[in-house]
């Protein structure tokens, strides 16, 4: 638990005479509709996370104190078949949205919008939020831009004032006004451009906070809490940042920050905390530039607990001290799920299982993602083939039809922060709708882009940031960059190429060029011929990529030849149904450039051991498990 001491400048006599109020702020963030500890992709009920488990911690944390507020920091309504498949159906059992049902039951005091709340469009969002029994806020998602943030018309209220009667330690009662502001990454208008174009605009989070926080103070807020759906970037230096918690901590008037978005934990313990001290970050104290801050992981993995010590000094409430922690649900024994919440979600849960179990075809071989970052992967290529077939059909009869169609996709479940169990693992045999959702876990839609060979090459360079630079001749170097999610590793079907890991990455995670003289992609070919810069292709990709997410380029309108409405997991399901039986064998697309005498360590899920022949085929050596439960394979380049 991180702690801070009272400010020393406060007059000692005043402090000793004023009643002390202890106010607890609880945070959930990035739940992503993981409500029950159930994996809808595998029909397993033993998941070690989920809001139902967090609910048990919420009830316990409330019982420990006199004054407590519960907040959610966004990304609560998207992320599992319970949300992405079920709420798209006509079933009345999912009205209200299961996440809203759970949050109403737990009596949230307020929630902020996250970027994934926009994945299904504004009409859907408005209908879902209409059932919320708590205020939902966001200061920088704007339906009409004003000359300044105060004049903006926001999609939902920018702020909320919570008036609470609180009890001091001496038993006296006091009226406290808690101002709360909601903020999210301004990149939402790019990431969900398909849904938001000409309907929604966004502002820089810091700009919005600088305008609205003084307004809360002017309206009588005694303290201000920022529900900031944003992460902690130690290298912050620009406006419109995606991860802006550090500059937000410098906004005058903010007393506490509840952060999120990056699925990390703050403050965190252990030898490798998610955020290192320095540049305004104090992981031990749980502060950013001295402002108490907490970030509660994702999928209901943690409950953020931030305690503020408040006293009135010269008629003004002051934060004299704090303590904060992110309480994990994965303890010994494992935190049990809350029974009342479980019962409330049961109708939607049962209906989701039935829907997700709908048969769509067969597979002759297993489809898994354990080795997707080190080999040509059948599961990833199944996605690219489905995208290509769909785009080819929709371009028939257009003047684009004669161009070669390529298809880009990435493995979406590759462990990382989600843990050693977060991998696709579909056995041979019957395929169901849940398997299509497992292969493609986001509700993106299909886009077609007309790109040059030079632009395709650049696309692949951006996808290569997931690998560390490898020094030739050095043994047992970690292959993958732990800060880059595996879903940034786009593979482009229809080409062949080599990846030279001796070169540093050309781009960083935000898409900034950091090594202009470096190129990792070598010998890029199409149908055996070198790809020239001036060659033209049609690339099938997803809407998230096409509109500039992560390290990738935001493409102008004249590059688009197709924008679809159907989620890609539905395209995959339809492709499998049409083919009936999948006999997918991965085609040779990419390989690592040879680096004699060099070995790397690849981290994957322990489930790979169910496929010993595939480990042998790679010439890999199983080194056992890490402390975090990942399997480590040694691979010669």
486-537: pLDDT as tens digits: 999 999 999 999 999 999 999 998 899 999 999 999 999 999 999 999 999 9
Same domain, 488 and 620: yes
Residues above pLDDT 70, as percent of the chain: 95
Residue 418 pLDDT level (bands cut at 50, 70, 90)? confident
CATH for 384: 3.90.780.10
Residue 428 pLDDT level (bands cut at 50, 70, 90)? very high
Residue 128: closest CA among 92, 154, 98: 98
Residue 394: closest CA among 270, 540, 611: 540
Residue 236 clears pLDDT 80, i.e. is over it = no
pLDDT value of position 275: 85
Backbone φ/ψ region at 34: left (φ over 0), alpha (ψ -120 to 50), beta: beta
pLDDT value of position 112: 98
Cα 128 from Cα 77, distance rounded (Å): 9
Same domain, 106 and 81: yes
- What are the distances in angstroms from CA 334 to CA 72, 75, 282, 435? 23, 24, 29, 28
Total domains, the chain:
2
Domain housing 72: 2-351
Check: CB of residue 230 under 8 Å from CB of residue 261. Answer: yes
Residue 273 clears pLDDT 90, i.e. is over it = no
Average pLDDT over residues 84-102: 74
Average pLDDT over residues 375-397: 96
**Range of weakest confidence among 73-87, 368-382, 524-538:** 73-87
Same domain, 345 and 389: no
Same domain, 52 and 194: yes
Average pLDDT over residues 319-325: 96
Same domain, 298 and 374: no
Residue 604 clears pLDDT 90, i.e. is over it = yes
Same domain, 201 and 324: yes
pLDDT value of position 145: 95
Residue 226: closest CA among 176, 288, 171, 276: 288
Same domain, 326 and 418: no
Residue 168 clears pLDDT 80, i.e. is over it = yes
pLDDT value of position 88: 62
Check: CB of residue 415 under 8 Å from CB of residue 630. Answer: yes
Residue 90 clears pLDDT 80, i.e. is over it = no
Residue 6 pLDDT level (bands cut at 50, 70, 90)? very low
Average pLDDT over residues 249-276: 92
Q: CB neighbours of 435 closer than 8 A, spacing ≥ 6?
A: 41, 360, 367, 426
pLDDT value of position 13: 43
Residue 549 pLDDT level (bands cut at 50, 70, 90)? confident
**Which pair of structure tokens corresponds to residue 258?**
């509840």
pLDDT value of position 371: 98
pLDDT value of position 8: 38
Same domain, 300 and 385: no
Same domain, 184 and 169: yes
**Which pair of structure tokens corresponds to residue 609?**
């051991």
Residue 395 pLDDT level (bands cut at 50, 70, 90)? very high
pLDDT value of position 89: 59
328-338 pLDDT, tens digit per residue, is 999 989 999 99
Residue 138 clears pLDDT 60, i.e. is over it = yes
Residue 271 clears pLDDT 80, i.e. is over it = no
pLDDT value of position 10: 41
Q: Determine which helix (DSSP H) or strand (DSSP E) holds 223, and give its type and residue range.
A: strand 223-228
Q: CB neighbours of 613 closer than 8 A, spacing ≥ 6?
A: none
Residue 95 pLDDT level (bands cut at 50, 70, 90)? confident
- Choice between 8 and 183, residue whose per-residue pLDDT is larger: 183
Same domain, 423 and 293: no
Residue 386 clears pLDDT 50, i.e. is over it = yes
452-499 pLDDT, tens digit per residue, is 999 999 999 999 999 999 999 999 999 999 889 999 999 999 999 999
Phi, psi of 158 (to 5 degrees): -70, -35
Environment class of residue 584 by beta-carbon count within 10 Å: exposed (0-12), middle (13-18) or buried (19+)?
A: middle
* Mean pLDDT, rounded, of the chain: 93
**Range of weakest confidence among 170-174, 266-270, 315-319:** 266-270
Residue 242 clears pLDDT 60, i.e. is over it = yes
Domain boundary among the residues 318, 333, 351 is at 351
pLDDT value of position 3: 57
Same domain, 436 and 321: no
- What are the distances in angstroms from CA 204 to CA 141, 185, 356, 529? 10, 8, 39, 45
Give the CA radius of gyration of the chain: 25
Check: CB of residue 604 under 8 Å from CB of residue 423. Answer: yes
The torsion angle over the Cα atoms of residues 401, 404, 407 and 408, rounded to 10 degrees, is -120
Average pLDDT over residues 259-263: 96
Same domain, 305 and 367: no
Average pLDDT over residues 603-619: 96
Residue 16 clears pLDDT 70, i.e. is over it = no
Domain boundary among the residues 301, 317, 351 is at 351
CATH for 311: 3.60.21.10
Helices 98-105, 51-63: axis angle to 10 degrees equals 10
Residue 7 pLDDT level (bands cut at 50, 70, 90)? very low
**pTM flag (> 0.85):** yes
Check: CB of residue 552 under 8 Å from CB of residue 545. Answer: yes
Domain boundary among the residues 336, 351, 366 is at 351
């Amino acid at each position: 638990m991180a702690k801070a001491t009272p400010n020393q400048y406060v007059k000692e006599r005043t402090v000793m005479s004023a009643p002390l109020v202890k106010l607890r702020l609880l945070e959930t963030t990035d739940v992503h509709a993981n409500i029950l500890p159930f994996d809808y992709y595998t029909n397993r009920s033993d998941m070690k996370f989920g809001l139902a488990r967090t609910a048990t911690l919420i009830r316990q944390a409330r019982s420990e104190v006199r004054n407590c507020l519960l907040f959610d920091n966004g990304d609560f309504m998207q992320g599992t078949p319970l949300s992405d498949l079920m709420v798209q159906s006509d079933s009345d059992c999912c009205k209200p949205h299961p996440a809203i049902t759970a949050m109403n039951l737990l009596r949230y005091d307020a929630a902020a919008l996250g970027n994934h709340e926009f994945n299904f469009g504004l009409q859907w969002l408005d209908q879902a939020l209409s059932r919320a029994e708590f205020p939902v806020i966001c200061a920088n998602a704007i339906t009409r831009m004003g000359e300044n943030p105060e004049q903006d018309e926001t999609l939902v209220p920018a702020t909320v004032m919570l008036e609470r009667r609180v009890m001091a330690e001496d038993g006296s009662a006091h009226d406290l006004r808690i101002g709360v502001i909601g903020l999210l990454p301004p990149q939402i208008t790019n990431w969900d451009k398909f849904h938001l174009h000409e309907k929604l605009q966004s502002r820089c989070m810091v700009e919005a906070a600088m305008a609205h926080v003084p307004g809360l103070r002017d309206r009588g807020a005694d303290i201000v809490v920022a529900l900031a759906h944003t992460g902690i970037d130690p290298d912050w230096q620009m406006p419109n940042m995606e991860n802006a918690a550090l500059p937000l901590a410098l906004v005058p008037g903010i007393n506490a920050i509840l952060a999120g978005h990056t699925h990390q934990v703050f403050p965190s313990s252990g030898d490798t905390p998610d955020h290192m001290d320095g540049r305004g970050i104090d992981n031990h104290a749980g502060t950013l530039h001295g402002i108490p801050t907490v970030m509660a992981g994702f999928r209901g993995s943690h409950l953020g607990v931030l305690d503020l010590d408040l006293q009135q000094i010269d008629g003004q409430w002051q934060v004299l001290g704090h303590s904060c922690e992110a309480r994990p649900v994965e303890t010994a024994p494992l935190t049990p799920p809350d029974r009342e919440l479980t019962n409330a979600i049961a109708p939607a849960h049962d209906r989701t299982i039935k829907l997700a179990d709908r048969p769509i075809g067969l597979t002759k071989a297993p489809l898994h993602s354990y080795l997707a970052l080190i080999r040509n992967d059948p599961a990833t290529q199944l996605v690219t083939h489905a995208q290509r077939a769909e785009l080819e059909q929709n371009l028939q009869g257009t003047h684009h039809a004669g161009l070669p169609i390529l298809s880009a996709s990435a493995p979406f479940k590759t462990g990382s922060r989600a843990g050693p169990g977060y991998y696709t693992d579909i056995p041979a045999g019957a395929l169901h709708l849940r398997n299509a959702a497992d292969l493609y876990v986001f509700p993106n839609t299909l886009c077609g882009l007309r790109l040059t060979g030079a632009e395709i090459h650049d696309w692949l360079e951006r996808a290569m940031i997931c690998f560390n630079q490898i020094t030739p001749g050095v043994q047992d170097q970690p292959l993958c960059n732990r800060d880059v999610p595996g879903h940034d590793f786009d593979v482009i079907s229809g080409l062949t190429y080599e990846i030279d890991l001796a070169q540093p990455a050309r781009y960083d995670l935000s898409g900034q060029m950091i090594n202009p003289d470096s190129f990792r992609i070598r010998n890029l070919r199409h149908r055996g011929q070198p790809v020239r810069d001036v060659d033209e292709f049609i690339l099938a990709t997803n809407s998230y990529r096409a509109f500039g997410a992560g390290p990738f380029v935001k493409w102008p309108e004249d590059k688009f030849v197709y924008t679809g409405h159907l989620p890609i997991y539905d395209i995959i399901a339809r492709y499998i149904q049409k083919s009936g039986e999948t006999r997918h064998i991965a085609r040779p697309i990419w390989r690592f450039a040879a680096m004699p005498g060099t070995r790397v360590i690849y981290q994957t899920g322990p489930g790979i051991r169910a496929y010993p022949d595939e480990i042998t085929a790679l010439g890999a050596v199983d080194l056992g498990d890490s402390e975090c439960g990942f399997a480590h394979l040694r691979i010669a380049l």
